[in-house]
């Protein structure tokens, strides 16, 4: 089908170099009118770099870009936009304080004698939105609308001009199922009108639902281009990560290990709670055990993790580490007692973008030692090299700025930071969110290996399959309270979902926590 049509975009032999790394190495990419073409690969494979070359963010070192047969030299995003290429990013790049209509028509306002005709401008905006099936008040402030609506406004804004190519970079990461369906309806309509859609997502189900063709990159090189119906999911994943998925079976086998719970737990939280955030919770975690926290968004998973790690201060309850009362009123106090915490928001509460990979790795160790016990250069180098190798950080350059790494590799650096502190308990909140399947497998495998060596882990993931794969036990939360615990060997995905929904685990054994005593200690 596509071979009979002229390509709207033909990128040939694209190479881009950054200091210390070749981000793209002779990559070809072809996009046809009226198709949804998904760009696939691990974080760090070169997807974002290829998109930025197409949209004028990066210049290319070698190769050529043709649009409708004409060779183009994109020196800026304005050059790409002039060629009919528009981009809608995961984080909507709109003016939240302006109206919907002002955002849609920004730079394209209707003018009479040089003056903006706002009535006509809003009428035009409403027309463009209606073409996407969106019927909202164009005079309402954009910030008052959901992320899903803002995504559609961004797409409408892109279609105001003569857009031939629409790049959608992780557009569904913050949307629920209904919102995804609405977005997919818009994408299909645009495709049927002849617009070429370049789609990027980590959600394989969505990729197979919306795509016509796939291009796979790995380590900055082209693996291949495939009609979506000719490449099964396991084949796709194997091509993306360069290895088979049997290692996931090994991770699952690790979760089947028996845990000795006869002794003193590494962590014992008794009646731990915070007003308006979390009802009092009891939780034990033993050495070598991975305990998953499962529940819907807002169930209290993150709130519990933050209380355990001192990121938020508890109003009531106690924490013991290895049988000794522990003060965890701040992350520093928690780290002093061997509790390390990786936040779900790695950008705001994790990485320090202006520091190098090496500097980010040693932050936790240096914080635990204090400012007067500085690490020697040789000690730093040995520690950094050990964890870059152990976690497979790419590029393996300790002097690279962490902000230039992919999301998956940033997450590996954060994991390295906390492992370097030799913690007793590792609390991981969404450590694999927003990263590709290869990086997920790397992190899951490393966490499982550490647990086998005796580390206690609290693991949170919105992907319940991941929780069941890696954890020996799952604590289920709903409405900001813990409703019970399940052994992962005794429950499948359907059973866990049912329990989260209505407290009925479909026959699986349940451990329901006892009601905490009324005389709980206040945490100092």
Query: The domain that contains 462 carries what CATH number?
Result: 3.40.50.300
Tell me which residue of 380, 358, 50, 415 sits closest to 200, measured CA to CA. 50
Beta pairing class for 221-227 and 267-274: unpaired
316-350 confidence digits (pLDDT tens): 999 999 999 998 778 888 988 999 999 887 777 88
Please write the tens of the pLDDT for every residue from 188-236.
Answer: 999 999 999 999 987 777 899 999 999 999 889 999 999 999 998 778 8
* SS3 assignment, position 99: strand
Kindly list the distances between the CA atom of residue 476 and the CA atoms of 22, 53, 66, 428, 485, in Å, as whole numbers in the listed order: 45, 45, 53, 16, 6
% the chain with pLDDT above 70: 91
Say if residue 264 is in the same domain as residue 325. Answer: yes
DSSP structural state of residue 16:
E
Count of domains observed in the chain: 3
The whole domain housing 106 covers 2-242
Indicate whether 13 and 114 sit together in one domain: yes
In this structure, the answer to whether residues 6 and 136 fall within a common structural domain is yes
| Residue 41 placed within a domain | yes
Is 44 among the domain residues? Answer: yes
Assess whether 369 and 417 both reside in one domain: yes
Residues 288 and 328 in one domain: yes
C-alpha 256/C-alpha 253 separation (Å) is 5
Q: Is residue 345 part of a domain?
A: no
The DSSP secondary-structure symbol of 407 reads: H
Cβ burial 267-291 (10 Å sphere, 16+ → b, else e)? bbbbbbbbeebbbbbbbbbbbbbbb
Report the run of H or E that residue 26 belongs to, with start and end. Answer: strand 21-31
**pLDDT value at position 201?**
86
Question: Do the Cβ atoms of 498 and 505 come closer than 8 Å?
Answer: yes
Residues for the chain: how many in total? Answer: 524
Three-state secondary-structure class, residue 358: helix
> CA–CA separation, 151 vs 351, rounded Å?
27
Q: Comparing C-alpha atoms, which of 409, 441, 439, 412 is closest to residue 428?
A: 412
Residue 40, helix vs strand vs coil: strand
| In contact, 37 and 217? CB cutoff 8 Å | no
Residue at a domain's end among 401, 422, 443:
422
| 18 and 114 share one domain | yes
Output the pLDDT for position 512. Answer: 44
Beta bridge partners of 428: 342, 459
Question: Are 223 and 251 contained in the same domain?
Answer: no
Residue 261 belongs to some domain of the structure: yes
Q: Please identify, among 422, 446, 477, the residue that sits at the C-terminal boundary of a domain.
A: 422
27 and 83 housed in the same domain: yes
| Count of Cβ atoms closer than 10 Å to residue 206 Cβ | 18
70 and 13 together in one domain: yes
Co-location of 264 and 334 in the same domain: yes
Residue 397 lies in a domain: yes
How do 316-321 and 290-294 pair as beta strands? unpaired
Give start and end residues of each alpha helix (H) in 256-329: 301-308
pLDDT tens-digit map of 234-275 = 788 778 866 555 555 666 777 788 899 999 999 999 999 999
Residue 344 lies in a domain: no
Last residue of a domain, which of 242, 261, 283?
242
508, 302 contact by CB (below 8 A): no
Is the pLDDT assigned to residue 503 strictly greater than 70? no
480: in domain: yes
Q: What is the mean pLDDT of the chain?
A: 86
Note whether residue 346 is domain-resident.
Answer: no
- Give the predicted TM-score (pTM) of the model: 0.56
pLDDT score for 243 = 54
On whether both 16 and 147 belong to a single domain, the answer is yes
pLDDT at 519: 37
| HEC-encoded secondary structure of 51-76 | HHHHCCCCCCCEEEEEECCEEECCCC
Task: Work out the number of other CB atoms within 10 angstroms of the CB of residue 52.
Answer: 22
Cα separation of the two ends of the chain:
69
| 332 shares a domain with 380 | no
Percent of the chain scored above 90 by pLDDT? Answer: 49
Q: ω into residue 403 within 30 of 0, thus cis?
A: no
Helix-strand-coil split of the chain, %, nearest 5: 35, 25, 40
């Amino acid at each position: 089908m596509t071979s009979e049509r002229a390509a709207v975009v033909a990128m040939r032999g694209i190479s881009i170099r950054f200091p210390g790394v070749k981000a793209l190495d002779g990559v070809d990419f072809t996009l046809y009118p009226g198709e949804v073409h998904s760009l696939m690969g691990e974080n760090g494979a070169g997807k974002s770099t290829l998109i930025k070359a197409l949209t004028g963010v990066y210049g290319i070192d070698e190769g050529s870009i043709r649009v409708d047969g004409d060779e183009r030299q994109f020196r800026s995003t304005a050059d790409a936009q002039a060629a009919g290429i528009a981009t809608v990013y995961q984080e909507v790049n709109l003016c939240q304080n302006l109206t919907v209509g002002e955002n849609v028509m920004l730079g394209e306002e209707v003018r009479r004698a040089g003056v903006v005709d706002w009535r006509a401008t809003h009428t035009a905006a409403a027309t463009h939105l209606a073409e996407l099936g969106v019927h909202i008040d164009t005079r309402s402030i954009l910030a008052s609308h959901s992320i899903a609506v803002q995504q559609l406004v961004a797409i409408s804004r892109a279609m105001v001009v003569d857009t031939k190519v629409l790049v959608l970079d992780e557009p569904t990461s913050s949307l629920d199922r209904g919102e995804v369906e609405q977005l997919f309806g818009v994408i299909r309509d645009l495709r049927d009108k002849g617009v070429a859609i370049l789609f990027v997502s980590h959600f394989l189900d969505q990729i197979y639902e919306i795509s016509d063709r796939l291009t796979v990159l790995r380590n900055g090189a082209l693996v291949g281009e495939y009609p979506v119906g000719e490449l099964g999911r396991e084949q796709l994943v194997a091509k993306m990560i360069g290895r088979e998925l049997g290692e996931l079976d090994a991770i699952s086998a690790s979760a089947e290990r028996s845990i000795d719970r006869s002794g003193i737990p590494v962590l014992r939280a008794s009646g731990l709670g915070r007003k308006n955030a979390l009802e009092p919770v009891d939780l034990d975690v033993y050495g070598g055990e991975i305990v998953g926290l499962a529940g819907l968004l807002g169930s209290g998973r993150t709130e519990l993790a933050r209380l355990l790690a001192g990121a938020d201060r508890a109003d009531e309850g106690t924490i013991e580490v290895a049988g000794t009362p522990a003060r965890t009123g701040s992350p520093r106090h928690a780290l002093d007692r061997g509790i390390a915490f990786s936040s779900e928001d790695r950008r705001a509460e994790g990485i320090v973008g202006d520091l190098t990979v090496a500097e980010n790795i040693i932050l936790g160790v240096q914080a635990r030692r204090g400012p007067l016990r500085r690490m020697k250069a040789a000690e730093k180098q040995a520690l950094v090299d050990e964890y870059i190798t152990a976690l497979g950080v790419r590029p393996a350059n300790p002097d690279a700025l962490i902000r230039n790494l992919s999301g998956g590799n940033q997450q590996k650096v954060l994991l390295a930071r906390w492992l370097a502190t030799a913690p007793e308990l590792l609390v991981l909140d969404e450590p694999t969110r927003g990263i590709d399947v290869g990086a997920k497998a790397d992190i899951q495998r490393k966490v499982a290996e550490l647990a086998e060596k005796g580390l206690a882990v609290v693991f949170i993931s919105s992907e319940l399959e991941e929780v069941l794969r890696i954890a020996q036990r799952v604590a289920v939360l709903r409405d900001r309270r813990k409703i019970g615990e399940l052994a992962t060997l005794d429950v499948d995905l359907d059973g866990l979902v049912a329990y989260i929904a209505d407290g009925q685990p479909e026959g699986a054994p349940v451990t329901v926590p006892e009601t905490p005593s009324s005389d709980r200690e206040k945490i100092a």
